[in-house]
């Protein structure tokens, strides 16, 4: 029996109509426009979801419902990234797309050459356990060790080696679990190779107890005081028993400072809301106690404990720089706050605010 088609996977029904003009979507793209970049990156991530849904009924990837999600913006599918758990039945977790400008049009300098897109968890998928296994890796801070992340890092490095890092513009994009993969790849390329890749993170998971305070309806003043007290304790530990760990994190932050990923979060999404608290609360502490904020923002209790026990790990949310895009719209409801589809809507349909956060003194 043929699987039922979901209209949410049809580009004509659910895609960003505001980017499709009479001359075709490719002719209306302005790569200097943040809204256009965001919407297209989100659509390419959506394509990875739809490709995996298409896979049981399509033997080739340029058939089914998926192609319009990249072809509408003049992209070509270059490579499919698959899990290698079973070579006879591999399923898709990401893809590589190449931008090909419309005939007769010059490439805009700000346009990418390639976009690496990674999907998130598909809980209704027959093989959802593979995704859930990687979700557990996020909770345990083991994403860099998972096979998907290693495969993604290798694919990006191979592309940059083949095309040249100076002449090839590569973007990373991911949603939820896929955002964690994109975050790991971008962070690694910057920290280990000094390559700054533009990165779009849609609803990136953040493991933090702070969202629980919102469920308890804690006052904002109480949250700020709690965060400030925590920062003071971290700064004190970093200045005493954890000096070696602090120096290592300072070196890492110095290497990462030029990289500022685009974080797209919804204030009602508990999965990614921790990023809002991390950046907004650290800014409040910085305005009150500048030295303490700079010392503590790169430290976490879990990392310090592991370092004390001889393990060198750092939480992925510890970022010196980022641009935080916050959607405060209530139209999608609580469960829709984590949906990818919100991010290819026009600015007029969203209640977006943004702020660039940088490492003090960088």
pLDDT tens sequence across 209-247:
666 666 666 677 877 888 889 889 999 998 998 999 999
Please tell me the pTM assigned to this model: 0.92
What mean pLDDT comes out for the span 297-301? Answer: 89
Tokens representing 11 are: 């580009």
Q: What is the pLDDT at residue 188?
A: 96
Q: CB within 8 A of 225, min separation 6: which ones?
A: none
pLDDT tens sequence across 66-95:
999 999 999 999 999 998 655 555 789 999
CA distances from 167 to 113, 142, 200, 255, 320 (A): 9, 32, 20, 22, 26
- Asked whether the predicted pLDDT for residue 1 surpasses 80, the reply is no
Q: What is the pLDDT at residue 118?
A: 98
pLDDT tens sequence across 269-288:
999 999 998 999 889 888 88
Kindly provide the b/e burial profile for residues 269-297, where b requires at least 16 CB atoms within 10 angstroms of the residue's own CB.
bbbbbbbbbbbbbbebbbeebeebbbbbb
H or E, element range at 233: helix 220-239
Q: What is the pLDDT at residue 5?
A: 66
pLDDT tens sequence across 186-207:
999 999 999 999 999 999 999 8
CA atoms in the 13 A half-sphere facing the CB of 42: 27
Longest dimension (CA), the chain: 66
Q: What is the pLDDT at residue 59?
A: 63
Whole-number Å distance between alpha carbons of 111 and 113? 7
Which stretch, 56-60, 174-178, 265-269, 300-304, has highest mean pLDDT?
174-178
Contact between 243 and 299 (Cβ < 8 Å): no
Whole-number Å distance between alpha carbons of 266 and 69? 23
Q: What is the pLDDT at residue 293?
A: 85
Whole-number Å distance between alpha carbons of 199 and 322? 10
What mean pLDDT comes out for the span 326-353? Answer: 87
CA distances from 56 to 9, 48, 83, 184, 295 (A): 15, 14, 15, 30, 51
Residue 98's nearest CA partner among 115, 117, 86 is: 115
The whole-angstrom distance between residue 265's C-alpha and the CA centroid of its chain comes to: 10
DSSP state of 29: -
H or E, element range at 121: none
């Amino acid at each position: 029996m043929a699987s039922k088609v979901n209209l949410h996977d049809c580009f004509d029904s659910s895609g960003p109509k505001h980017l499709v003009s009479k001359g075709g979507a490719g002719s209306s793209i302005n790569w200097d426009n943040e809204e256009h970049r965001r919407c297209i990156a989100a659509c390419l991530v959506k394509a990875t979801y739809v490709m995996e849904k298409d896979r049981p009924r399509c033997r080739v990837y340029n058939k089914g419902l998926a192609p319009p999600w990249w072809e509408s913006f003049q992209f070509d599918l270059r490579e499919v990234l698959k899990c290698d758990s079973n070579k006879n039945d591999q399923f898709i977790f990401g893809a590589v797309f190449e931008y090909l400008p419309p005939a007769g049009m010059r490439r805009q300098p700000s346009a990418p050459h390639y976009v690496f897109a990674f999907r998130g968890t598909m809980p209704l998928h027959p093989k959802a356990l593979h995704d859930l296994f990687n979700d557990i890796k996020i909770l345990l801070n083991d994403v860099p060790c998972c096979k998907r992340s290693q495969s993604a890092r290798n694919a990006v490095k191979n592309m940059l080696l083949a095309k040249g890092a100076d002449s090839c513009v590569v973007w990373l994009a991911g949603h939820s679990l896929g955002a964690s993969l994109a975050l790991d790849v971008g962070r690694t390329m910057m920290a280990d190779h000094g390559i700054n890749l533009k990165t779009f993170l849609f609803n990136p998971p953040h493991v933090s107890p702070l969202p629980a305070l919102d469920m308890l309806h804690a006052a904002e003043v109480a949250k700020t005081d709690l965060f400030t007290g925590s920062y003071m304790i971290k700064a004190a530990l970093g200045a005493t028993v954890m000096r070696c760990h602090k120096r290592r994190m300072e070196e890492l932050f110095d290497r990462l400072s030029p990289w500022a990923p685009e974080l797209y979060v919804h204030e009602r999404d508990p999965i990614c809301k921790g990023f809002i608290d991390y950046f907004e609360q650290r800014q409040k502490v910085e305005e009150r106690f500048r030295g303490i904020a700079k010392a503590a923002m790169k430290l976490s209790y879990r990392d310090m404990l592991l370092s004390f026990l001889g393990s060198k790990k750092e939480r992925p949310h510890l970022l010196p720089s980022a641009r935080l895009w916050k959607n405060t719209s209530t139209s999608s409801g609580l469960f829709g706050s984590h949906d990818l589809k919100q991010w290819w809507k026009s600015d007029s349909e969203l209640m977006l605010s943004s702020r660039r956060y940088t490492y003090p003194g960088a």
